[in-house]
Structure 1
Amino acid sequence: MRDAAPVSTPPRVLPRNDPRQYDDLAGEWWRPDGAFAMLHWLARARAALVPPAFRPGALLVDLGCGAGLLAPHLVGKGYRHVGLDLTRSALAQAAAHGVTVVNADATAVPLADGCADVVSAGELLEHVPDWRRVVAEACRLLRPGGLLVLDTLNDTALARLVAVEIGERLPTVPRGIHDPRLFVDARELVAECARHGVELRLRGIRPELLGTLGWLLRRMRGASARRPVGTEAGGGPRIVPTRSTAVLYQGRGLRGG
């Protein structure tokens, strides 16, 4: 009798925004040209909003930290970096990069009121069923004068087109990673932060165009050729300001005393 041919297991099909996708993609986190490439670019841009710590023992709480992509960009800034996430496979990688990890939900953070000098919520709010509860927790964690930094996708038709219909066809965003019903209206976010004592200022952001085109071309060729114009020395396009917050936007705000 001939041996049966090996049966290959097809990749499982999960609902949009299903957290199990992050386990399936665990090997992609630290590949700068992998499925999470854009998260690397955004982490670098978010870290640029964080000033050096002004006191010993200053704490930065990284909500939805994933595999700790923010960590390399905080080196030398003087913070204790605590990262919180639901995905254990990602947290194991964050710990390997020096992050003190907490396996918990961002709507119920097991940390004390006013413990944080900085709270980061990068590419998180558009993935949670109740972003208002996450905002409330982020603001609760901040000490008076503490800094909130975040980036997320706006609840607009243009954001749905760019981030889902177009973005998920490119190698920078995993297919099915977003549920556009969870995208966050920019005006509502500013109002919600104000309710919790944080005056949030927003600006639109996007990857630099020439750098992105050069990165995509290099990726398709599988080349590691000379770094194209519009990319950072650390790899990948720069994230640059844009006039419109209609797609992707960044927020920075201080908690009042």
Structure 2
Amino acid sequence: MVNRNDPRQYDELAEEWWKPNGAFAMLHWLAKSRCALIPEPARADAVLVDIGCGGGLNTKHVSGYRHIGIDLRQPNLRLAADHGLAAVRGDALRLPVADESADVVVAGEILEHVPDWRAAVAEACRILRPGGTLVVDTLADTWLCRFVAVTLAERMPGGPPPGIHDPALFVPPQALLSECAGFGVTLELWGLRPAALSLVRWLVRRRGEVPMITTRSKSILYAGRGVKHAHGSAHGRRDA
């Protein structure tokens, strides 16, 4: 039996990444929502680092950047490279990227999959240039999220693959705000959810796209964007 959140699950699910109505359908919807938060590149050689890039779904919605994808699993990296990423094998807890070298850092649906989300945040902030943008989305450490994202969703047709999440790793929104602030990144957070009617149609027909809409509640899925101040905390600095 495979443990919850075992990264080897992604090797077995690699063929699902680019199926818009497959096991990772919601990740397609999230990728579009997430990438809408990415600013236009401010310079010709702007760098975007995509932490936990998976199969490279963000490439559908990002242009103008040197787009670097970092992931632990080789099948994911091969797919990401096929879709235009500069794919690099690396751990979110120790990124193979130099300090303050990224104009944008994206951490989409990755913080709830690492054993130490605070260390992953420290790394994301370390590699971000002053004035650069951090974009995140993750699952909240609440009883409601545990019920919806695990107990309910894993039993629902079209929901996440069983065992893909470990609720013990979910991230408290207020703690994420505080952690980022310690590194000079002021985040704004908001809740996200699939548009209800579109989701019902998708569950019935298993085709089409479901828009992600913002909500006041951050008790299940939430997203955020922030900018790194010029004089953020220096702890955790290192070169690649």
Q: Taking structure 2 as the reference length, what is the TM-score of the superposition? A: 0.94
Q: Which runs of 4+ in 1 moved over 2 A?
A: none
The match for 2:223 is: 250
Structure 2 partner of 1:198:
185
Aligned counterpart, 1:218: 205
- Is the contact made by 1:199 and 1:254 (CA closer than 8 Å) also made in structure 2? yes
Which residue, 50, 56, 61 being the options, matches 2:38? 50
* Aligned pair partner of 1:99 in 72, 80, 85: 85
The answer to whether residue 3 in structure 2 is matched with residue 30 in structure 1 is: no
CA distance in 2, matches of 1:178, 1:172: 12
For 1:158-217, what per-residue CA distance to the aligned partner results, in whole angstroms no more than 9, with x for missing partners?
000110011111213111100000000000000000011100110000010000000010
Counting matched residue pairs gives 229
**Could you tell me how far apart the structure 1 residues matched to 2:21 and 2:162 are?**
16
* From 50, 56, 66, the counterpart of 1:68: 56
Cα drift, residue 156 of structure 1: 0.2
Alpha-carbon shift at residue 54 of structure 1 (Å): 1.2
Mark the runs of 5 or more structure 1 residues left unpaired by the alignment: 1-12, 225-234
CA distance in 1, matches of 2:133, 2:39: 9
* 1:241 pairs with one of 190, 214, 221: 214
Q: In structure 2, what residue type is equivalent to 1:251?
A: G
SS at the partner of 2:4?
Answer: coil
Contact 1:34 1:172 in 2 (8 A): no
Q: How does 1:134-213 map onto structure 2 within 5 Å?
A: 134-170=120-156, 171-213=158-200
Task: Tell me which residue corresponds to 1:227.
Answer: none
Q: Following the alignment from structure 2 to structure 1, what is the Cα–Cα distance between the partners of residues 4 and 173?
A: 22
> Matched residues in 1 for 2:164 and 2:96: separation?
26
Report the Cα offset of residue 108 of structure 1.
0.5
Q: Which amino acid aligns with 1:190?
A: L
Deviation at 1:51, TM superposition (A): 1.5
Q: Distance in 2 between matches of 1:95 and 1:67?
A: 8
Cα distance in structure 1, aligned partners of 2:102 and 2:159? 31
Name the counterpart of 2:110.
124
Matched residue of 1:92: which SS? helix
Secondary structure at 1:14 match in 2? coil
- 1:236 deviates by 1.6
Runs of 5+ unmatched residues, structure 2: 231-240
- Calculate percent identity across the aligned residue pairs: 57
Greater Rg by CA: 1
Secondary structure (helix, strand or coil) at the match of 1:70 reads: helix
Which whole-Å deviations, capped at 9, do the CAs of 1:2-57 have from their partners, x for residues lacking one?
A: xxxxxxxxxxx311000000001111110011101111110110000011101111
1:38-81 deviation line (CA, Å, top 9, x unaligned) = 11110110000011101111000000000000001013xx1110
How many angstroms does 1:109 deviate by? Answer: 0.6
Matched letter for residue 192 of structure 1: E
| AA in 1 matched with 2:113 | H
What is the match of residue 232 of structure 1?
none
Distance 2:20 2:159 in 1: 10
